[in-house]
Every structure is written in C-alpha cells, then in structure tokens.
Amino acid sequence: MLQNFRAYQLALDLYKVVRAIPAPAYIRDQLQRASLSVVLNLAEGSAKPTPKERRRFYSIALASLRETQALLQILDRQVAFQLSDTVGACLYRLTVPR
C-alpha cells in the first residue's frame, strides 16, 4: 500500500538523506525527529477512514516538513532542501480539501 504512495516514498527518501547529514548533535537530533515525523504522519494518516481525518495527519506532516526545511536552511543543505520542496508540494496537495 505505502509503496504506491508517492508522498510517503519521497518523505522516506528525505529521511534517509537527512540521517547522513553531519551536524551538531542537538541539531541532528531535531532534524532526524522532524523528518521522521513527516514519514510517520503520512503512514498513519493513510490509514484513516475519512478524508478529513487523513488531511489532519497530512497537515501535521506538512508542519514537520517545514521544521525540517528550517533546519536544512540553517545547515545550508541545498540538495536536501530541494528534495524537501518536492515533498512539500506533494503534502500541500494532500492537505487541500477537494
């Protein structure tokens, strides 16, 4: 199921990239937790029965992504930031009511 969920797969790729970024321990820990939160909220939200409940989790994932992006900017990691922009575009589409 999650293999066909593009936003989830991109978020997972971002998490793997983030894990390899060298940074002070306090920043690295926050960066890893924020990017993991994106992945986990997408997974949990995908199991919710109603569109409203799914959007709630996808919104939380988007907020965690913004935190991840702020940390990537602090660390000046452009390549990872570009991937995060792609994830953000997917998440934004998931949060907009149709």
- Give per-residue pLDDT as tens, 35-61: 999 999 999 999 999 999 999 999 999
Asked if residues 6 and 94 have their Cβ atoms less than 8 Å apart, the reply is: no
The reported pLDDT for the residue numbered 1 is 61
Give the contacts of 8 (CB within 8 A, at least 6 positions apart). Answer: 2, 39, 42, 43, 46
> What CATH number is associated with residue 41?
1.20.1440.60
The reported pLDDT for the residue numbered 81 is 87
Asked if residues 65 and 15 have their Cβ atoms less than 8 Å apart, the reply is: no
The reported pLDDT for the residue numbered 26 is 96
Give me the domain span that covers residue 52.
2-95
Total number of domains constituting the chain: 1
Asked if residues 17 and 80 have their Cβ atoms less than 8 Å apart, the reply is: yes
The reported pLDDT for the residue numbered 34 is 98
Residue ranges for the chain with pLDDT beneath 50: none
